[in-house]
């Protein structure tokens, strides 16, 4: 029996002037016709007066200001806090769509963890010739110190942030994996808190799935990987670089929410291969460290000797199995740009399954057919040097001059293994308030995947980031991006 639905009325007011552009729009199928899971929201927005809207924006700003939720912008007079730009209109993901995404995330992160265990163990995938060994051993994030080390529960990436985008047909694609110290989960949680205060009535009948159990799930994950010798109530701490770090708010927030101690390196000391906190009543044993410091800075004896953020002797205590680090040391090799194209093969190799969440199509210079395609179509591709990041060593084909195309052709031909290329993706857009009017802004989605010794936990949704500048594809919070609440429907 098919359900007969009345044709939706084109909306009025704010929503009426909204321009869809040549992109996949998360909310609207066509002008004035919202997708089914957005209809309720569309009606409420249509009914909102300008004053009602302004009032709600004020409430949102006041919430973020009084909670002191800011992020530090580097190079902006000495790290001043700014309010995190928050958008009122939630992004909605229907239940069946989320189920697909969730499966795909679990599958992908499980394979990545298996890959890490393999790299630092038997290296079967290299022996089989599926991943070129030079990409692994040449990666600055591969840590020889980890070879032969078995972390508790066999887990490497306990907290993963997988960045998803949708293309012009609304397909979910993985843009990149973040397996080191992904941040942003506090914005996910605070965005929900903010929207509940501002639009409480919206939540009544919408069946939005809760996310505020994330800190508990994280704590369970960390407990599950405590060293086998520790007590049934392991001592867990969150290691932060300190109050000047741009994510310090998040560190403090998560420590408070989990009820664990927030520590800095000077609070920790290694003695006889065990880690302790320095307390007013002497040394106290630590079992699990949720660290938000990069590998390079963790232990000045093992990595950067000039690190003031690290704990001397930590690596040895870790290798001795006396403390668990989450995430493990050396996970960065698996979220490397050079390794990314091989993740679908990993999923087939370790799990014998077809990937449920595809990569953005990627040409790998090391593959002869792909190399030919890169050289032929360089004008339409984004070409990236795999050993560089942050926009360096990169060519955006459609925006570049013929001279630049020629220069990059020479670079790629000379060192094909160092390059990958991707078509430019038209990221999906979502209606967003920018200066009082509704604009289509590009969005991505970062769900957080928790991998414990017992199971994988995923809180429904994630952090939806919006590019607030007209036409901008950059969604980083430090680059003028903002956030939206993300609703997964039950």
Longest dimension (CA), the chain: 72
Stretch that binds another protein, among 260-268, 299-307, 351-359, 432-440 (CB under 8 A): 260-268
Separation of alpha carbons 384 and 363, rounded Å = 10
The CA radius of gyration of the chain, in Å to the nearest whole number, is: 24
Going 143 to 144 to 145 to 146, the CA torsion angle's sign is: positive
Q: Tell me if 269 contacts another protein by CB under 8 A.
A: yes
Q: What is the DSSP letter of 109?
A: H
Options 206, 252, 273, 316; binder of another protein; rule CB under 8 A = 252
Count of C-beta atoms within a 10 Å radius of residue 398:
10
DSSP track, 3-53:
PP-PPPPPP-GGGGG---TTS-BSSEEETTEE-GGGHHHHHHHHH--HHHH
Q: Is residue 279 involved in binding another protein (CB under 8 A)?
A: yes
CB of 220 to another protein, least distance (A): 21
Candidate ranges 176-184, 210-218, 278-286, 291-299; the one touching another protein (CB under 8 A): 278-286
**Residue 129 lies near another protein (rule: CB under 8 A):** no
Nearer to another protein, 42 or 72 (CB): 72
Nearest to another protein of 253, 303 (CB atom): 253
* Binding segment toward another protein, per CB under 8 A, in 177-185, 269-277, 300-308, 337-345: 269-277
DSSP 73: P
Matching residue, tokens 């996310």: 211
Binding-site size for another protein (CB under 8 A) equals 22
Q: Which helix (DSSP H) or strand (DSSP E) does residue 120 occupy? A: none
CB of 239 to another protein, least distance (A): 12
Which of 22/282 has CB closer to another protein? 282
Which DSSP helix (H) or strand (E) runs through 172? strand 172-178
Residue 243 interacts with another protein (CB under 8 A): yes or no: yes
Applying CB under 8 A, among 271, 348, 377, 455 the residue interacting with another protein is: 271
- Part of the chain binding another protein (CB under 8 A), chosen from 114-122, 211-219, 273-281, 406-414: 273-281
Estimate the crossing angle of helix 248-258 against helix 214-224, to 10 degrees.
80
CB within 8 Å of 236: residues ≥ 6 apart: 219, 222, 223, 226, 258, 260, 286, 287, 288, 289, 290
- Please choose, from the candidates 78, 235, 278, 105, the residue with its C-alpha nearest in 3D space to the C-alpha of residue 182: 105
Choice from 2, 201, 231, 280 touching another protein (CB under 8 A): 280
197 in contact with another protein (CB under 8 A)? no
**Is residue 113 within 8 Å of 162, Cβ to Cβ?**
no
Cα torsion 211, 212, 214, 216 to 10°: value is: -140
Among 6, 129, 282, 368, binds another protein (CB under 8 A): 282
Distances (CA, A) of 131 to 114, 217, 341, 344: 14, 33, 10, 11
Does 264 participate in binding another protein (rule CB under 8 A)? yes
Two tokens at 457? 């936990």
Closest contact distance (angstroms) between CB of 18 and another protein is 40
Q: Which of 59, 273, 277, 359 binds another protein (CB under 8 A)?
A: 277
- Nearer to another protein by Cβ, of 157 and 317: the residue is 317
Among 266, 377, 410, 455, binds another protein (CB under 8 A): 266
58-87 footprint of another protein as x/- string (CB under 8 A): ----------x-------------------
By the 8 A CB rule, do 24 and 169 touch?
A: yes
Cβ closest to another protein, residue 68 vs residue 490:
68
Q: CB 203 → another protein: shortest distance, Å?
A: 25
273 or 424: whose CB is closer to another protein?
Answer: 273
For another protein, the binding residues (CB under 8 A) are: 68, 242-243, 252, 255-256, 261-264, 266-267, 269, 271-272, 277-283
């Amino acid at each position: 029996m098919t359900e007969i639905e009345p044709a939706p009325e084109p909306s009025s007011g704010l929503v009426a002037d909204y321009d869809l552009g040549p992109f996949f729009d998360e909310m609207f199928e066509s002008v004035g016709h919202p997708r089914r899971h957005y209809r309720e929201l569309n009606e409420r927005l249509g009914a909102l007066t300008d004053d009602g809207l302004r009032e709600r924006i004020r409430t949102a700003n006041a919430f973020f200001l009084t909670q002191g939720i800011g992020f530090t912008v580097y190079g902006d007079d000495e790290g001043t806090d700014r309010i995190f730009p928050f958008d009122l209109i939630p992004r909605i993901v229907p239940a069946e769509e989320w189920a697909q995404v969730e499966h795909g995330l679990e599958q992908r992160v499980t394979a990545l963890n298996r890959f890490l265990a393999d790299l630092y163990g038997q290296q079967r995938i290299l022996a089989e010739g599926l991943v070129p060994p030079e990409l692994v051993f040449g990666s600055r994030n591969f840590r020889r110190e980890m070879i032969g080390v078995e972390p508790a529960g066999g887990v490497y990436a306990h907290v993963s942030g997988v960045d998803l985008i949708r293309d012009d047909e609304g397909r979910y694609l993985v843009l990149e994996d973040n397996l080191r110290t992904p941040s942003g989960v506090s914005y996910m949680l605070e965005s929900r808190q903010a929207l509940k205060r501002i639009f409480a009535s919206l939540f009544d009948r919408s069946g939005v799935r809760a996310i505020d159990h994330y800190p508990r799930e994280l704590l369970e994950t960390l407990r599950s990987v405590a060293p086998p010798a520790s007590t049934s109530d392991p001592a867990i701490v969150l290691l932060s670089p300190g109050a000047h770090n741009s994510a310090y708010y998040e560190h403090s927030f998560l420590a408070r929410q989990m009820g664990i101690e927030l520590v800095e390196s000077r609070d920790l000391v290694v003695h006889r291969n065990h880690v302790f906190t320095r307390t007013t009543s002497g040394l106290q044993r630590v079992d699990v460290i949720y660290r938000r410091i990069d590998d390079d800075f963790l232990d000045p004896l093992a990595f950067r000797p000039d690190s003031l953020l690290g704990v001397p002797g930590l690596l040895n205590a870790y290798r001795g199995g006396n403390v668990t680090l989450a995430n493990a040391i050396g996970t960065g090799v698996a979220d490397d740009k050079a390794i990314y194209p091989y993740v679908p093969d990993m999923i087939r190799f370790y799990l014998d399954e077809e990937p449920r969440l595809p990569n953005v199509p990627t040409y790998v210079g090391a593959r002869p057919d792909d190399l030919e395609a890169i050289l032929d179509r360089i004008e339409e591709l984004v070409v990236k040097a795999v050993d560089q990041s942050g926009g360096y060593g990169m060519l955006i084909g459609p925006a570049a001059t013929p001279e630049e195309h020629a220069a990059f052709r020479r670079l790629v031909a000379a060192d094909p293994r160092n390059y990958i290329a991707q078509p430019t993706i038209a990221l999906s857009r979502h209606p967003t308030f920018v200066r009082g009017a509704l604009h289509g802004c590009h969005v991505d989605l970062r769900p957080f995947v928790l991998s414990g010794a017992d199971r994988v936990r995923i809180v429904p949704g994630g952090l939806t980031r919006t590019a607030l500048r007209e036409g901008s594809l950059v969604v980083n919070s430090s680059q003028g991006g903002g956030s939206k609440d993300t609703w997964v429907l039950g």
